[in-house]
Amino acid sequence: MTPAIEVNGGSVVYETLGQSGDLIVLTPGGRFGKDIPGLRPLAEALVEGGYRVLLWDRPNCGASDVQFYGQTESHMRAETLRGVLSALGVDRCIIAGGSGGARDSMLSTMLYPELVEKLVVWNIVGGVYGMYQLGAYYVLPSIQAVRWSGIEGLLKVPEWRDRIDQNPANKQRFLDLDPEEFLTVMLRWLNAFVPKPGQTIPGVDDEMFSRIKVPTLIIRGGENDWDHPKRTSLEVSCLIKGSQLIDPPWPEEAWERAAEARAAGKVKHFNMFDTWVQAAPAILEFLAT
């Protein structure tokens, strides 16, 4: 049975790979869980490099419980990660993540710097298109479902149906939600994805980056990646003093080609993270310094 830890009233499923070495918390993007194709090969490569790796289903991901609170969903995830690490007796760790996992990792480092030894991020979301895309995909469907059909409408949202399939207890968790309170949280989360001056990444003031003082590796976004713009990576590298910025180890247009293949039905699973294992040598080299 997959182990789980209760944090703030919700069950968080996790898995630890490796027997020894410093711990790396590895977080994927979107609302994808720890078993999303492409994540485990990177984790296994890091284990082979001498580290332990914590994979976890964040709230609203994989088989963990759904939860809705906090300034943004990433703020909620950062608070949850602190609770998971505390329960596991982890005082310090390396935090790494891509796409939405990069935002979660950066925010965790900002809010709980005492927990973090080093930080590694890639595929950082930003820009007008990237931010609006996230709000439209991850927040608007839930708002519309509740407005038009009440809380029961959430049970028909495809993403939430998946969460119920993986964790049947989530059905009652949805039904127990207060519609007005839920909509208040969703509107706050949606507002985070409205581009604003002084917020390079969604829902986080640029001044927060000054809290990141640990060695940081940033893998630049692809040249023509609308979801994770090259410009955003460059801006983040300027905001995190002393950070190291490197070119992506995968093709510049890897994200676009994967998205096109999925849209055309040429792949059976969401394979946009399959290239991430190619970052293992650069990550291991950075961690060794």
Backbone φ/ψ region at 252: left (φ over 0), alpha (ψ -120 to 50), beta: alpha
Separation between Cα atoms, residue 283 and residue 289, nearest integer Å: 10
Q: Which residues of 160-198 are buried (b: 16+ CB within 10 A; e: fewer)?
A: beebbebbeebbebbeebeeeebeebbebbbebbeeeee
Residue 91 exposed, middle or buried by CB count within 10 Å (0-12, 13-18, 19+): exposed
**Residue 2 confidence (pLDDT):** 83
Give the best-scoring range by mean pLDDT among 212-216, 258-262, 271-275: 212-216
pLDDT at 30 over 60: yes
Contact 240, 218 (CB under 8 A): yes
Separation between Cα atoms, residue 230 and residue 149, nearest integer Å: 40
Kindly indicate the confidence band of residue 257, based on its pLDDT and cuts at 50, 70 and 90. confident
Kindly indicate the confidence band of residue 267, based on its pLDDT and cuts at 50, 70 and 90. low
Kindly indicate the confidence band of residue 268, based on its pLDDT and cuts at 50, 70 and 90. low
> Once rounded to an integer, what is the mean pLDDT over residues 84-104?
97
> Once rounded to an integer, what is the mean pLDDT over residues 126-142?
96
pLDDT at 232 over 90: yes
Q: Which residues of 2-38 are buried (b: 16+ CB within 10 A; e: fewer)?
A: eebbebeebbbbbeebbeeeebbbbbbbbbbbbbbbb
Kindly indicate the confidence band of residue 252, based on its pLDDT and cuts at 50, 70 and 90. confident
Kindly indicate the confidence band of residue 182, based on its pLDDT and cuts at 50, 70 and 90. very high
Contact 67, 60 (CB under 8 A): yes
**Residue 266 confidence (pLDDT):** 63
pLDDT at 285 over 60: yes
pLDDT at 261 over 80: no
Task: Map out the domains of the chain with their CATH numbers.
Answer: 4-128+203-288 (3.40.50.1820)
- Range with lowest mean pLDDT among 48-52, 177-181, 208-212, 271-275: 271-275
Task: Return all residues near 129 (Cβ < 8 A) that are at least 6 apart.
Answer: 226, 227
Mean pLDDT rounded to a whole number for the chain: 95
**Residue 204 confidence (pLDDT):** 97
**Residue 26 confidence (pLDDT):** 98
**Residue 269 confidence (pLDDT):** 55
pLDDT at 253 over 90: no
Task: Return all residues near 74 (Cβ < 8 A) that are at least 6 apart.
Answer: 100, 103, 104, 107, 202, 203, 204
> Once rounded to an integer, what is the mean pLDDT over residues 45-51?
98
> Once rounded to an integer, what is the mean pLDDT over residues 252-269?
72
CA angle 102, 234, 98 (to 5 degrees): 15
- Range with lowest mean pLDDT among 11-20, 117-126, 146-155, 250-259: 250-259
**Residue 256 confidence (pLDDT):** 79
pLDDT at 262 over 80: no
Separation between Cα atoms, residue 243 and residue 25, nearest integer Å: 19
> Once rounded to an integer, what is the mean pLDDT over residues 221-233?
93
Kindly indicate the confidence band of residue 198, based on its pLDDT and cuts at 50, 70 and 90. very high
